[in-house]
Amino acid sequence: MLPSEVEEVLTGKCRIFKRESGNVEGEDLYNAIGKTKGGRYLSVFFIRKLGNKALIITAREMNKREHGRYEKK
């Protein structure tokens, strides 16, 4: 998967879920699920940093459960 695909998910119509509270105040772990322009369904885990920036931890193809959550929009 390409970094540009991860950016497409995060800047497009994705659904974002808070997964865990971080050790640093305001820096929590989130999961974004969305579709790329090429039609891939991705799940992206990231830490929301101060200044509204994201530190990408990992990205992968959505599993069935995530796909179901994404389609419920």
pLDDT in tens, 7-59: 999 999 999 999 988 777 778 999 999 999 999 999 999 998 878 889 999 99
Whole-model pTM: value is 0.88
**Identity of residue 39:** G
- In this prediction, residue 42 carries a pLDDT of 98
- In this prediction, residue 23 carries a pLDDT of 79
Cβ–Cβ < 8 Å for 31, 19:
yes
Give the single-character DSSP code of 52. T
- In this prediction, residue 73 carries a pLDDT of 66
Integer CA distances (angstroms), 69 to 25, 31, 65, in order: 28, 12, 6
Rounded Cα–Cα distance for residues 64 and 26 (Å): 30
